[in-house]
Structure 1
Amino acid sequence: MTDRKKLLGEERREKLLSLLQTSAQPITGSALSKMTNVSRQVIVSDITLLKARNEPIVATSQGYIYLQTKKPIMHERTVACNHDPSLTEIELNLLVDLGIMVKDVKVEHPVYGDLTASIMVTNRKEVQQFLEKVSKTKAAYLSELTNGIHLHTIAASSEELLNEAEAALKKANILID
């Protein structure tokens, strides 16, 4: 810790909310901990408390984001995909290049049931950051638990873009009909 004042309890959570609400980019837990002069674990606890208060905060591979309530109307769809891990980058880039947000990935585990993980990528830079984090942590993709079969929630500004995304996934032999 530095000589800066440590923000306490509710004051710190209000500061976190303000930082997240005004940021156009995700903010990492480490960056938030430096801004408030507390440990990253305290930030994780604070974010959990804020989520329990129904604050729309999402943890992504790039950091925390606050889902603004005044966003343009987005159309969503769930698509079923099947591919091996080597095609993940192709799949995600194909989608974001069409203006699609890949919100999450879901698999059906035989013991735990439905498992969902937030992805929240909208461009190639975010895809690259996601892939680098997976590589750096040596984490497995959820789809590896189900031999490549997985679902994505995708979002776009129009149904037409979602239709284009499905057609592109089908052409790439990734979409399950």
Structure 2
Amino acid sequence: MSEQNKLIGEERRAAILSWLTNSGSPLTGGVLADRAGVSRQVIVQDISLLKAKNEPIMATSQGYLLIKDTPQEKKRQRIVACKHTPEQTRHELECIVDQGVTVHNVIVEHPVYGDLEALIMVSDRHDVAQFVNRIETTHAPYLSELTDGVHLHTLEAESTAKLDAAFEALKRNGYIVE
């Protein structure tokens, strides 16, 4: 986008909301920046301003998402305690998503900061591959490395049976902390 087509202030934030509303998948800060003709840092600031106005925007590992109220059946949730090495992360996540379950987040207990939570929002093997590849290419550590591999996940599914199947898959592979 050229300098004369650069979106300004409230107009840009309205456009961001529209793009997120109409997107079927998360949009990265880079994509939003390109569309608006601004830097990614400007988008980060805009997202903060929109969140301060109670816009339901979630930052995920795949990008920004607008949380839409849907009249669908309420999803079931379960928190599971897991432990594994960083090298086992892909397999752990695949054990979950292969059961039709979404991994909402990862939570670790830090001795100074308390609970640290990061949204993951992976629902299939493609999402898992993107998440793991992003960790690997950025050389970012997994949060679970702060706690010798121990962490919690909030799992979401349409049915308790799917949550049970994911739990059993994790247990079979030795990832559940009991």
Q: TM tier, shorter chain?
A: over 0.9
Unaligned runs of 5+ in 2: none
Q: Which residue of structure 2 aligns with residue 24 of structure 1?
A: 24
RMSD: 1.1
Letter of the 2:147 partner, please give it. Answer: T
Partner SS state of residue 130, structure 2: helix
Q: Which runs of 4+ in 1 moved over 3 A?
A: none
Please give the alpha-carbon distance, in whole angstroms, between the structure 1 residues aligned to 2:160 and 2:54: 29
Please give the alpha-carbon distance, in whole angstroms, between the structure 2 residues aligned to 1:37 and 1:152: 37
Please give the alpha-carbon distance, in whole angstroms, between the structure 1 residues aligned to 2:91 and 2:134: 17
Please give the alpha-carbon distance, in whole angstroms, between the structure 2 residues aligned to 1:71 and 1:128: 30
Q: Per-residue deviation at 1:2?
A: 2.1
Residues 40-79 of structure 1: matches in 2 within 5 Å?
40-70=40-70, 72=72, 73-79=74-80
Q: Which moved more, 1:69-78 or 1:111-120?
A: 69-78
Q: Which residue of structure 1 aligns with residue 120 of structure 2?
A: 119
Letter of the 2:46 partner, please give it. Answer: D
Q: Which residue of structure 2 aligns with residue 151 of structure 1?
A: 152
Normalising by structure 1, report the TM-score: 0.96
Q: Which residue of structure 2 aligns with residue 164 of structure 1?
A: 165
Letter of the 1:139 partner, please give it. Answer: A
Q: Per-residue deviation at 1:79?
A: 0.5
Partner SS state of residue 27, structure 1: coil
Q: Which residue of structure 1 aligns with residue 105 of structure 2?
A: 104
Q: Per-residue deviation at 1:164?
A: 1.0
Q: Per-residue deviation at 1:69?
A: 0.8
Aligned pair count reads 177
Letter of the 2:59 partner, please give it. Answer: A
Please give the alpha-carbon distance, in whole angstroms, between the structure 1 residues aligned to 2:39 and 2:87: 36
Q: Any idea what the Cα deviations from partners look like across 1:47-102, whole Å, max 9, x if unmatched? A: 01111112111111211111111163211111000111111000101111111110
Please give the alpha-carbon distance, in whole angstroms, between the structure 1 residues aligned to 2:9 and 2:33: 13
Q: Any idea what the Cα deviations from partners look like across 1:133-170, whole Å, max 9, x if unmatched? A: 10011011000100010000110001111111111111
Partner SS state of residue 59, structure 1: strand
What fraction of aligned residue pairs are identical, expressed as a percent?
51
Is 1:80 the counterpart of 2:87 in the alignment?
Answer: no
Partner SS state of residue 120, structure 1: strand
Letter of the 1:58 partner, please give it. Answer: M
Please give the alpha-carbon distance, in whole angstroms, between the structure 1 residues aligned to 2:71 and 2:165: 22
Letter of the 1:154 partner, please give it. Answer: L
